[in-house]
Every structure is written in C-alpha cells, then in structure tokens.
Amino acid sequence: MKDAAPRPIRLSQYRKPAHRVDRVDLTFRLHPSRTRVLARIAFRPDPEGPGGPLRLDGEGLRLIEAAIDGTPVTPLIDPAGLSVEAPDRPFLWEAEVEIDPAANTALEGLYMSNGMYCTQCEAEGFRKITYYPDRPDVMAPFDVRIESDLPVLLSNGNPGRAGKGFAEWSDPWPKPAYLFALVAGDLIAHSDRFTTAEGREVALNIWVRPGDEDRCAYAMDALKRSMAWDERVYGRAYDLDVFNIVAVDDFNMGAMENKGLNIFNARYVLASPQTATDADYARIEAIIAHEYFHNWTGNRITCRDWFQLCLKEGLTVYRDQQFSGDERGHAVKRIEDVQMLRARQFREDAGPLAHPVRPESYVEINNFYTATVYEKGAEVIGMLRRIVCEDGWRAGLDLYFDRHDGQACTIEDWLAVFADATGRDLSQFALWYSQAGTPRVTLSSRIEDGTLVVDLRQDVPATPGQPEKLPHAIPVALGAVARDGTEALATQHIVLTRPHETHRFAIGTGDAVVSALRGFSAPVVLDQPLSNPDRALLLAHDTDPFNRWESGRELARDALLRMVRDGAAPDPAYLDALGPVLADDTIEPAFRAMVLALPGDDDLARSLAEGGTVPDPDAIDAARRALALAVARRHEDRLAHLFDSLAEPGPYSPEAGPAGRRALRGAALSRLSRIDGGARARALVESADNMTDRLAALTALVAIGQADDALAAFYDDWKSDRLVLDKWFSVQVAAAPGDSGAQAAARLTAHPDFHWRTPNRFRAVIGALGANHASFHAADGTGYDLVADWLIRLDPLNPQTAARMSTLFDSWRRYDAGRQELMRAALTRIAGKTDLSRDTSEMVGRMLA
Ligand code: ARG
Ligand code: ZN
C-alpha cells in the first residue's frame, strides 16, 4: 500500500518568499551522466517575508559543496530541498551540484534527447538543476556559462563571450526560474532577421537536428508574422537581440516560452508539404504565436504563484486565437476553437476532474495544465472583452502592461486594471475564475405585438467540492431571423446576471427564430427548444456564421440521438438541409467542410448522459456511420462534383484558402469512400503530392477497413521519418472502424518502431486509442486494459505524460454497469501500483473519489 497521500498546496496559504534574488550566475559543465552545476546566487532577505532560515527547493541533486559569503556551510538536506541558517542581510550563496541528465526520463529539468541536452523547467523543473527558491514570484537576471564540446550552446537572453568549448549568455530581464532554459547539441540553424517597431535588430534562429533544416521555413514565417502582430495589435515589441527556437524530439507538451529561447516539441516546428498536413501547419502557426506572445503575457508579467496559471495561459491562448483568426479568418477559427472547448473542456467540467479556471488546491501542479485553465481561461478573457467593450479592453490592457511590467501578478491584479480603467464593478464577473462547471442557459421566446420577449434562465451545476453556485455574469449575443430568411433583429448584446431574466426587443415581424449565443459569446450549454425547421432556417440564413454552423450541428446531433435512442432512420430533413450548403459555392469551403462534419462520438455520449440515457458506444458508432453513409447516398453527385472540382492545380500552399478547399475535398472523400469501395481514396493515396491529401485518403481507407496495402506502402516510404511515422501509428488506431482500434493498438504496441518512451510515439498509439470512442470502450475491456497496462509501464519513467493520459478514464461514470466496472477496475489497478507517481496518483484518486 501507499504512504499517506501528499498534502495539497492551497491558494489560501500563499506566503511571500523569505528571500529575494538579486542575480543568478550559473556555470554548467555538461556531461551525460555527471553534469556539474555551479551556482552563485545573490540573496537578500525580504523585509515583508516571513523571515527564517534560507530555504531552497532541490530534487535529485547531489550537493558537492556549498558556501555563504565564501564560508563553507552544511545545509540540512531533505527530499524536497535544503535549509540553512543565513545572515540577516544580503549574502552570496555558492553551491556546486551534480546531476544525471541521461537518466532523466521524466523530461523535466535537464535531460537528453537524441544526444542533445535540453531543459524543461515549468512548472517546478528548475529544482532538478540546482538548489533555488523555485517559485514564480522570485525573479532575477541570469548569467549563464555553458562548458561543453558540443558545437551549439544556448541559454536565455543575449549571447556574450564564446570560444572553444564554452559559451556565455546574459539575460537582463528579471525572470522566475521556470523560464530558464539551456540547450546544447549538434544543431543547425534556419536564420532570419526582424526589425522591431522600436528599431531593434533581432536575429532569429530555429535550431534543428541536421537534416531538418529545410522544414523550418513555415515556423519562421509564422514567427515574423507573430512579432509584427503583437506590435500592431497590442503595441508590444520584442526586447532582446536574439530570439531562438529549438525543436526537440522528446517533449512532454507542445512547447515552452523560456525567455529568448523557446523550446518546442519538434512536431510543432517542422513542416514540409510532403510531411505535414494543413492541420499541422495551422497548429505550428498557433503555437509559435502562443509561445512568442508569452514574452509579454507570461514573461515580462508573470504569475505570483501557480494558482494564477490562467493569468498567463488564458490570456495567451486568447491572443493566439485572435492572431490565427486575423491570419486565417475568424468564422472558421471560432468554430474550431469551440469544437475543441466542448470536446475537452466541457468534458472535463462535467466529470470528476472539474476545477475552477483558478484552482484553489493541488497536489501536483503539472496536473493543472488543463483545458479548463487554458481554453476556458481564454473564453473568460473573451467574455471580459465583450463586457468592457472595445475601449475598455484597450485601456485595461495598456494599464496592465504599464502597471505590472516586471511583476509577478494575480487574477485580482488583472481584474483591477479593467475595473480601474472602466469604473466597472467586476466582482460578479470574477466568479468565472472560482466556480467550476459549465453553466446551462435555458432560453424561450415569443413575439407579442411587435416585441420579441426572451426569457433566460441560468443554472450552474454542482462540481466536486462546490455543491452550491452563484449566478454568473454571462454575455449573451442574440439576434433573430425572419421566416423569409432576412435578419429580423440585428445582434443585441446583453449580460445575464440573475438566475432569471426577461428581455424585450422591438422587432418588425410577427414570426422569427431567435439566434442566441451568437459567436458562442459565453462558454455555456444553451438549451433552446428549436424545431428542426427552425434550425434549418438558421443553417440557411443566419448572418452569424457560428450559429449557421451550430444549427447544422444541432440538426445532425438530433438526428444521431434519435438513431441511437430510438433506432430511428437517418433524418431526411437533415439530409435535405445539407444540400444547399454543399451546393453554394459562395460559402467558404472550409466552412462547408465543418458543416459536413458530424458531432464526435464522445460529444454524443455526453449529450446522452446529460439527457439521462446511458450511452452505448457501439450504437453511437453505428449511428454515426449510418448517417455518414446516408449523406453519401443522398448527395453522391454533389460530393463527387466537389471532390473532382476542388483538386488544387498548382503547387501546395498551406494558406487558409487552399487548405479549406482540401478540407472540403477530404470531407467529400470520406463520405464517398463509403459507397465507392475506396476507389477514389486508393487513387489519391498514390497520386497525392502532399501529406494532407495522402493522409485524408489513408484515413478514409482505414475507416472502411481497406487500408492494408496503403499502410504498407506508407510505412515503406516514411519509416525513417519519426514525425510521419507517428501519423502512420496514429491513423490505424484513431480511424479504425467499430471497436477494432483496440486490437490495432495492441498489435502496434508490439511493433519494433513503437518507441514508447518518446511521448509523441506513446500518444500516437495510446492517445489515439483514447480518441477512438468505440474502440477505447470495446465491451470486453481490452481497450481499458491496454491503456492501463501502458500507463503503469510509463508512470515510473515519465509521470507527467502518464498522469495526463490517465484522464482518458475521466468519464467512466457515464457508461453501463459492465463498462463502469471494467474502468473502475483499470483505475484501481493503476492506483494500487507500488511507487505510483504523485502525478498519476492524484489523478486516479480524483477520478475514483
Ligand atoms: N507554458 C507552456 C505553454 O503553455 C506549457 C508548459 C506546460 N508545462 C507543464 N508542466 N505541463 O506554452
Ligand atoms: Zn502557454
């Protein structure tokens, strides 16, 4: 059995640090298994701090020697750090430690990836490098010297002296330790330059392994566009002479915004038309922008403590979403973001892992880099902007940068700038940061003598630890569409603040359909009893693109739910409603592709569960396939016409226009493959000159169980390319029909190329199984068991990735008794593992609670 569970850390227990740091001077003598780190740190007692001895965090360090002001000291060492008496005045701490990067499989701290040294310090990895007050409210300038024979030696800030076997770096901007980074390796740069609006000449480099240098152009282009955008939109210019990005193969997450030295999972940097899909290009653009934008929202202004994580993440996700929208079109981007929010955050909010955007306690902070903190955090920013209006938004942000540059801040600081800039009381709005759960807004309407009367009700569901909720301030954008398709009421912006409200609008017609929550103006579930003809009207005529798409999706969802629940046939009204959209060439192809997409299985399962029906994964999968087939039969001619006419003539371009046409063509192909035996997909998989088309064709073939030859050929072509091979693994599991993905995953985990210690490869198989609803939930439990086996195997090596992947089980209480029992058994088996990490044990504990 396990020791007593570690005690949670609480927001309410925040204390200022006892000591501040005036500067940090680090020397690294790199060695794969015996790296020496020499630290010289200038400390100063904080008169406002609690006093006491010097307390430093440290994990897995071998202390060689330590001194204070030149006098050797013998600190008291424990598993979490050390304590030592220190003078009550400024003093110099010097320590030498030894660490073992080659043995670091957790990929946190200093570790090795394919012969290259790299670091990941957020949230608490710096304490695995040297003894330090590893908390974000301790900020200092860093000087770093790296000694190694490797040709490229990088750290934060501006380069200093360099010579044979060493390089020095100096970062003038005070930063918390989580933004420290070091990279050393045999790397090649793709280089460029950028001149800031303030006239600073910045050298830009993307560092990759030899052979990858011709796949950096798109990331570089995205970086330059991001730099220009932040100057144009927020008046924020870059503040160092170099900006370095490094692509790393072994990485737990997407990327990291270390000051002046961003470190990326290679899959979010490297792209060529032959190896990356349109979706990869879009993600690269978004993540490059995200990490770059952190330079101001995260680095120049950081978080006081980790409970404030959404201060930098919610705002930075919001900023990268706006950037992508500006670059690629807002309508489609908004739909994609909401799809993601619903798939990941609404799911999280509805289950045992629900937590507020600003959590109030945690055991392991790495477990709180969640869709709630990031994506709901971004939605909260969007609502704030709607509530304070454009002028208030600009004024508030200017004040934020002015007032807090160089500080470590809280959500209270953030809200105060908007309250001060606009004179508004934001105390009710602040509940979005402290109350978990997705509010439900129920809307009903009627028209009385030229007045549209709208009744709105809000309910915030109970979540773990929060049985009672207060009403939120919910911005609701709504309009109305008349029967003839014209706009009967232009968009009105109201803010719902009470449990029940009635609003009246003058309207020029006796009959209209309310189009509510336009642009998805708040992260809520909208309950609006619309008939299918009303929805079809909105799909055809709404002026709000989000609600056009939403109406189509609601029609599809309703059709699917009736198929699953009542064994109904595919709804001809839905099939009819698709026709005009498919045929209307004035509508953006990317948008039409999204209208054609059906709600995902997991989404349907959640709808069923919320409506009181136990979801049957096999029935859901069968219904989705039957509806896709019915769409194909009903619209074969139009789909075939789209497939033929949308073939791109010229060379591949990742721009939104051509990407949208490929998306619509791919969507048409996936439907047509259900009736042409895969003929078109087989031809395309061979003729495609780009990965987007090739993978779309391969996916269509896997989905109809006709992919054996194509998969073998794909493997032969790409077996030596790790990023493309990840796709080969993933597609076989994620797109497998019925519950066959569970066997596919089992087979692939025995493949010699299943390098499971590399997080990307692990996710390509185990994550893909989790994404295939019918396969993960295979009735015999093989999916659950496979995932549990692999989590148990991964956990001792890489707790962060294991813990994150364990969330696949978070919806276990939705399902039938048999599946619940199997999932509970899998979770219990993980929980009972000896020496289970703090990360995974917190997660399974919350899921079983
Ligand atoms: N700050 C990084 C980003 O959002 C992510 C760091 C994730 N760290 C973690 N321990 N999960 O860009
Ligand atoms: Zn971030």
Give mean pLDDT, residues 623-650: 97
User: What's the gap in Å between 182 CA and the centre of ligand 1?
Assistant: 16
291 is catalytic: yes
Residues of the chain with CATH 2.60.40.1840: 440-529
Q: What is the mean pLDDT of residues 568-586?
A: 96
Backbone angles phi, psi at 810, to 5 degrees: -65, -20
% residues pLDDT > 90 (the chain): 99
CB atoms within 10 A of CB 405: 11
Question: For 147-172, how does the pLDDT look when each residue is reduced to its tens digit (9 = 90+)?
Answer: 999 999 999 999 999 999 999 999 99
Q: Where in the chain is the domain with CATH 2.60.40.1730?
A: 18-186
Q: Cite the residue boundaries of each domain of the chain with CATH code 1.10.390.10.
A: 301-433
pLDDT tens across 261-312, in order?
A: 999 999 999 999 999 999 999 999 999 999 999 999 999 999 999 999 999 9
Beta carbons of 560 and 554 less than 8 angstroms apart: no
Is CATH 1.25.50.10 the classification given to domain 531-673? Answer: yes
Nearest residue CA, atom 3 of ligand 1? 256
3-state SS assignment for residue 113:
strand
Distance (angstroms) between ligand 2 centre and the Cα of 297 equals 9
**pLDDT tens-digit profile of 369-408?**
999 999 999 999 999 999 999 999 999 999 999 999 999 9
Architecture of the domain spanning 18-186: Sandwich (2.60)
- Ligand closest to Cα of 268 equals 1
Helix (H) or strand (E) holding 247: strand 242-248
- Does the global pTM surpass 0.95? yes
pLDDT of residue 6: 84
- State residue 1's pLDDT score: 39
| Residue range 301-433, CATH number | 1.10.390.10
Distance CA 530, CA 514 (A): 9
Domain with CATH 1.25.50.10 in the chain: 531-673
Give the pLDDT of residue 732.
98
Q: What is the mean pLDDT of the chain?
A: 98
Ramachandran sector of residue 727 (left: φ over 0; alpha: ψ -120 to 50; beta: rest): alpha
What's the pLDDT tens digit per position in 175-190? 999 999 999 999 999 9
Q: What CATH number belongs to 187-276?
A: 3.30.2010.30
Query: In whole angstroms, what is the distance from residue 491 CA to residue 112 CA?
Result: 54
Would you state the pLDDT for residue 5?
74
Angle between the N-to-C axes of helices 532-541 and 572-583, in degrees from 0 to 180, rounded to the nearest 10: 0
How buried is residue 15: exposed, middle or buried, by Cβ count under 10 Å (0-12/13-18/19+)? exposed
Least confident of 2-6, 353-357, 641-645, 787-791: 2-6
For residues 522 and 475, is the Cβ–Cβ distance under 8 A? yes
Confidence band of 4 (pLDDT split at 50, 70, 90): low
C-alpha distances in Å from residue 463, one per residue of 60, 205, 849: 37, 46, 12
What is the spatial distance between Cα 672 and Cα 165, in angstroms, rounded to a whole number? 60
Residues paired with residue 71 on neighbouring β-strands, in sequence order = 68
Pocket lined around ligand 1, Cβ cut-off 6 Å: 122-123, 253, 255-257, 290-291, 313, 366, 369
Residues with CB under 5 A from ligand 2 (ion): 313, 316
* pLDDT tens sequence across 214-235: 999 999 999 999 999 999 999 9
Residue 508 has pLDDT above 90, yes or no: no
Confidence at residue 289, expressed as pLDDT on a 0 to 100 scale? 99
Tell whether the torsion through CA atoms of 404, 409, 414 and 415 is positive or negative: negative
Specify the fold of 440-529.
Immunoglobulin-like (2.60.40)
Kindly report the backbone phi and psi dihedral angles of residue 248, in degrees, each rounded to the nearest multiple of 5, phi listed first: -125, 140
Strand (E) or helix (H) holding 183: strand 182-185
Please write down the HEC assignment for all residues of 17-84.
CCEEEEEEEEEEECCCCCEEEEEEEEEEECCCCCCCCEEEECCCCEEEEEEECCEECCCEEECCEEEE
pLDDT of residue 682: 98
CA separation for the pair 608, 570 (Å, rounded): 17
* CA-to-CA separations, 464 to 355, 437, 511, 843, in angstroms, rounded: 8, 9, 43, 13
Compute, in angstroms, the gap from residue 313 CA to the centroid of ligand 1: 9
Averaged pLDDT for residues 687-715: 98
ipTM of this predicted structure? 0.98
Q: Where does 65-216 have alpha helices with state H? A: none
Give pLDDT, residue 729.
99
CA angle centred on 579, ends 573 and 581, rounded to 5°: 115
Instruction: List the catalytic residue out of 108, 291, 375, 588.
Output: 291
pLDDT for position 497: 98
Choose which residue among 107, 366, 369, 798 to substitute to test ligand 1 binding: the one with the highest number of ligand atoms within 8 A of its C-beta.
369
DSSP string, 644-706: HHT---SS---SHHHHHHHHHHHHHHHHHTTTSTTHHHHHHHHH-SSHHHHHHHHHHHHHTT-
Which residues in the chain are classed under CATH 3.30.2010.30?
187-276
